[in-house]
Amino acid sequence: MQLIKDLFEKSPKQSMVSRYTAMNGMLYLGAGALLIAWPGATQSLFGDSAFIGREEGLIRLLGLTVVILGSLYLLGGRANAPQIIAASIVVRPILVPVVLVPLTMSGVFPHLLLTFAVLDPLLSIVALVLYARTT
Report the pLDDT value the prediction gives residue 53, as an integer from 0 to 100: 92
Distance between alpha carbon 7 and the CA centroid of its chain, in Å? 19
The residue type at 27 = L
C-alpha 115/C-alpha 110 separation (Å) is 8
The residue type at 84 = I
Report the pLDDT value the prediction gives residue 42, as an integer from 0 to 100: 96
3-state secondary structure (DSSP) of residue 45: coil
The upper half-sphere exposure of residue 5, i.e. CA atoms within 13 Å in the direction of its Cβ, equals 2
Per-residue pLDDT of the chain (135 residues; tens, 9 = 90+): 899 888 888 888 899 999 999 999 999 999 999 999 999 999 999 999 999 999 999 999 999 999 999 999 999 999 999 999 999 999 999 999 999 999 999 999 999 999 999 999 999 999 999 999 987
Report the pLDDT value the prediction gives residue 135, as an integer from 0 to 100: 77
How many residues appear in the chain? 135
